[in-house]
Chains A and B, each alone.
Chain A
Amino acid sequence: AQSVSQHNHHVILSEAASLELGCNYSYGGTVNLFWYVQYPGQHLQLLLKYFSGDPLVKGIKGFEAEFIKSKFSFNLRKPSVQWSDTAEYFCAVNARAAGNKLTFGGGTRVLVKP
């Protein structure tokens, strides 16, 4: 079975700082990778996803993530955060052999101070 780990539980930043959230998964087969965001009081929304092709994926709101297969990683980045990026971020993995089932990491709470 696959598992997902997110290295940081909480991150506090100032506006305009750069953000990088780590995500590692354990699964030897082909995977699809996702980052979801949950703004306070809201449901999960897709930030970006990787299925195949260019390992550098660009998503909404200036976020990007890089899939490094050799490191089993899919880290999320944003060069300059805004107060509105305050949210909880979840990395998720779908093993292609497992159909549609997603396995989520524990989440990282990001607080951006104005």
Chain B
Amino acid sequence: NAGVTQTPKFQVLKTGQSMTLQCAQDMNHEYMSWYRQDPGMGLRLIHYSVGAGITDQGEVPNGYNVSRSTTEDFPLRLLSAAPSQTSVYFCASSTGLAGGNTDTQYFGPGTRLTVL
């Protein structure tokens, strides 16, 4: 298993440009999520999905869109990049056990995004 993969590893954008960060997992996990990591603030949840066709907002969703058309893929879209979105982005997945219990989340290698 490759686990959780993310592309690209690095990206530089100009303000106003759009792009999609890719995330894929091959563990048949139902639950997938996107976090951003900023110094001193830990990881903050952007969006998450509990299964194909179902997404919801996390703590910091503004400026980001997601979709989940398949179990494997969970892309994150920046429609109009802003300097405040300069960050490291991590995708994670887990089995999403029923009953509200969580299983361990597995993280991808991250995408370092700079918006000029």
Instruction: List A residues at the B interface (Cβ < 8 Å).
Output: 4, 6, 9, 32, 34, 36, 42-46, 49, 51, 90, 92, 94, 96-107
A51–B58 contact, CB under 8 A? Answer: no
The interface size bin for chain B is: 20 to 34
Q: A-B contact count, CB below 8 Å?
A: 66
Question: How far, in angstroms, from A92 to B37 measured CA to CA in the complex?
Answer: 13
Interface centre among A6, A92, A94 (most CB of B within 10 A): A94
A-B contact sample (18 more), CB < 8 A, given A43-B107, A100-B103: A34-B104, A42-B109, A44-B92, A94-B102, A96-B100, A96-B101, A98-B100, A99-B50, A99-B102, A100-B94, A101-B33, A101-B48, A102-B45, A102-B102, A102-B105, A104-B42, A104-B44, A107-B40
- Asked, given contacts A104-B43, A105-B42, A107-B40, whether A32 binds B109 with beta carbons under 8 Å apart, the answer is no
